Amino acid sequence: MSCCRLTSWIKSILEKIKWFPIGVVFLLLPFLALATAQAGESSGKRQSNQERIVWQEWSDDVFAKAKNSKRYVLLDLEAVWCHWCHVMDERTYKNPAVVKLVNRQFIPIKVDQDSRPDLSNRYDDYGWPATVVFDSDGKERAIWSGFFPPEEMLPMLRSALKEKTTVQLRPEQSGIIATTLSPKIHQELKQRFDQGYDTEAGGWGFGQKFLNWDNVEYAMQQARVGDEIAERRAKETLAKQLKLIDPVWGGVYQYSTDNDWVHPHFEKIMQMQAENLRIYSQAFGQWHAPEYLAAAKDIERFLSTFLLTPEGAFYTSQDADLIRGKHSQGYFALDDAQRRKQGIPRIDKHIYSRENGWAINALTNLYMVTGEASYLEKAKRAADWIIANRSLPGGGFRHDQSDQGGPYLGDSLSMGRSFLSLYCATADRKWLDRAKDTAVFINKHFCDVSSKRQNAGFITAQATPRTSLRPAPLLDENVSLARFTNLLFHYTGDKHFQTMAQQAMCYLATPEIAGKPKVLVGGILLADRELGSDPAHVTVVGPKGDPRARALFLSALSYPGSYKRIEWLDQAEGPLPFMDVEYPPSKQPAAFVCIDGRCSSPIQDPASILARLQAPKKASR
């Protein structure tokens, strides 16, 4: 793993220099600079002298040329604004082995799809870049969709040269899933993820039964790339968890004992409500099962009825017992009127930043899959209250009105994640600015610089000279931080946030952390997958006052899952915070989709966005 590590060259130089007298060091600096410059110049000469692919333009006689030269035709159909096309050019088509093979066996043709509607329309379903191999008679030997790194492209090209019949790969994702974990740890976590599923009672874990949201979310991601076992287990867990939703008031009971789903403990705490609400919202977006939407709405109903403050923030929990210490199974079997006649279990009326961040994020997810504005308004109102009443200088947040210790990582982390969700849902840049400020605060106050370990992770509370117990990093917080700052990096392009994500991942990837018996396997696998890939990316281009543009944006928001980058480019607001793609002008609002190594042509039909975003089965190659 390359994060948290100096390159060996720099490290060796520093190790040698530190033993020289300071005067000698200054005398050596000009020579070191000269040597470095000469090395760079030499490297540049080697690079410029390297063989490169000499791309040609499409012409009517291209197949005649191919027949005369006994070569095939390689068509790289790109878009000048396409991110993955640029990656393909830099990583794949500059690789010496690819260059050598292409120049020897193919006539290489590069075409901007915007300039050739005939070719663009023919291969539009494959997204950009689309790669087509023809034989000299003009027959398609292979069609590939999206970006392929050189190590994949080489065998694909060789295979296309050997095949005797036309090979046409469907417009599927490339199946590129990089990992930041060592192969050994990655394999061990995958095995434990599979072995941790209770095939008899359902759900991950044994003894106490509840919805393990990280494991279910990871299984849902696996289902989107064709893992039928993961899909079945996710759906089974979601169905079992319905038994722990209060049929009268809504909300989720904490867990069930006896290794089944029918012996609940009746307390309703915020994290369980929020994460269940988020997962059921995403499950509805993915599978459109009405029972998932009903579950999400039942949880939201409980939050709004019992935990919503008059000012719009959220209280913390509802007690399991009507009478302290007396089991309340009979009470929760009653209907609404009978319950209220006896009284209502105590509500913990503390208003914590962390718990509100969880609720805001969950409500925003429910809004994104339903489009119901009331959920978004509740989320924004709670966020505004926390900003007004719990903010710390520099972008962080207190836990309560006043903290005995702290500040705590969980409060700022939860709010930072909720701000990024609000930016995704609204395209209002004030929320992205809030998310950035909070991430900077986290890095300043919770990065464990005192530790000598490079993989120390982020600590749960700020250490002070008066701290009696040194704060330690928590696994679940580092999972959440890795995922939050990695997605924030993709929205902003700021590599400081990428470094934060890598540092948290370094901590999660160590054998002593990943190997713990009760580790959050799904959380580490989620963070690992996200750090090794780009999020699904949709940009709507058009005025925010145009209902056609809004319809495109709402359609993009409904794409399920947390790992997505949805943006709205209104030219009146200037460029996006991170313009890594230059979008072509359009006479009417359009959406551009980039996912799994490929980018779409402009889309004007809202219904077509999800069709382009749906992650199909992995291509078999």
Around Cβ 294, how many Cβ atoms within 10 Å? Answer: 15
**pLDDT of the residue at 2:** 37
φ and ψ at residue 416, rounded to 5 degrees = -60, -45
φ and ψ at residue 312, rounded to 5 degrees = 105, -5
Q: What is the pLDDT of residues 225-263, one digit of tens each?
A: 899 999 999 999 999 999 999 999 999 999 999 999 999
**pLDDT of the residue at 146:** 85
**Tokens encoding 175:** 């199946």
| pLDDT exceeds cutoff 50 at 431 | yes
**pLDDT of the residue at 5:** 40
What is the rounded CA–CA span in Å between residue 457 and residue 459?
A: 6
| Alpha-carbon torsion (491, 493, 499, 500), positive or negative | negative
HSE (side-chain half, CA atoms, 13 Å) at 49: 6
Q: 225 and 614 in contact (C-beta within 8 Å)?
A: no
| Residue found by looking up tokens 């044994």 in the block | 206
| pLDDT exceeds cutoff 60 at 48 | no
Longest CA–CA separation in the chain, Å? 92
46-60, 398-412, 450-464, 606-620: range with lowest mean pLDDT? 606-620
| Alpha-carbon torsion (350, 280, 597, 602), positive or negative | negative
What is the enclosing helix (H) or strand (E) of 522? helix 521-531
What is the rounded CA–CA span in Å between residue 266 and residue 253?
A: 5
Closest by CA to 211, choosing from 250, 252, 173, is: 252
The fraction of the chain above a pLDDT of 90, given in percent, is 64
| pLDDT exceeds cutoff 60 at 208 | yes
Domain 62-162 has CATH 3.40.30.10: yes
Q: What is the pLDDT of residues 496-545, one digit of tens each?
A: 999 999 999 999 998 888 887 766 799 999 999 999 999 999 999 999 99
| pLDDT exceeds cutoff 60 at 342 | yes
What is the enclosing helix (H) or strand (E) of 142? strand 140-145
Q: 111 and 59 in contact (C-beta within 8 Å)?
A: no
CA distances from 597 to 53, 172, 315 (A): 22, 10, 43
DSSP assignment of 47-79 = HHHS-----B---TTHHHHHHHHT-EEEEEEE-
HSE (side-chain half, CA atoms, 13 Å) at 134: 18
* Own/partner long-range contacts of 384-393 (Cβ < 8 Å, ≥24 apart): 384/312, 385/309, 385/311, 385/312, 385/313, 385/351, 385/356, 386/313, 386/353, 386/356, 386/357, 386/360, 386/415, 387/434, 389/313, 389/351, 390/351, 390/353, 392/441
